[in-house]
Structure 1
Amino acid sequence: MPLFYLLSLQNVVLPKVVTRPEDVQHVSVLKATGLIEAEIAPASDAAGKYNVARTATVTCITEDGMAEINKMLNEPRRMARTLQIARNRMRSSSLS
């Protein structure tokens, strides 16, 4: 889920290059919603054929992104569930 990915970005050094397809998709959604700033590789080639973007570089979390992170962390019931899901995702990511 893109919001969990946003939450994980607060603990990494930016800029961060992203190459996993699901992470590139999360970056695309977060950029489109204005929660981060990022450069995403072009999705079409010189002939105009569509290709799925393979890389993205997250440059910063915007003020709106930080506000969303604070909102997720400061709502008591939501925070417990959010942190639980984020921990599970980090564990499963580190195993692969």
Structure 2
Amino acid sequence: MSIEAKFDKAVAIVQGLPKDGPVKPSQEDQLYFYKYFKQAKVGDNTTTRPGMLEFVGKAKWDAWKSVEGVSKEEAMKLYVDKLLEVLKKTDDAESKKYIEEIESA
């Protein structure tokens, strides 16, 4: 059970969540997933901050920049832990299935 396997499973789950499904990560949760996904996959943010009118782009950039220095493994762990937390709060059959898939990865 490597953290990378759990992370890959968690990413697949987050990316596949239906918009009208029972699991609804908040905008704050979505930014959390984004910043740790980018940190795990790319590393530290070395890009230029988006301009004044790009509100979503700036929020994502700022979120990713805020985790500068976090290791790939730690970023993966934090991503997985956050998804498990969101799924446990939802506490329905689909969430329990996702939790089982992550824990068995």
TM range (shorter): 0.3 to 0.5
TM-score of the pair, normalised by structure 2: 0.31
TM-score of the pair, normalised by structure 1: 0.32
Q: Which has the higher contact order (CA 8 A, sep 6+)?
A: 2
Structure with the bigger percentage of strand = 1
Structure with the bigger percentage of helix = 2
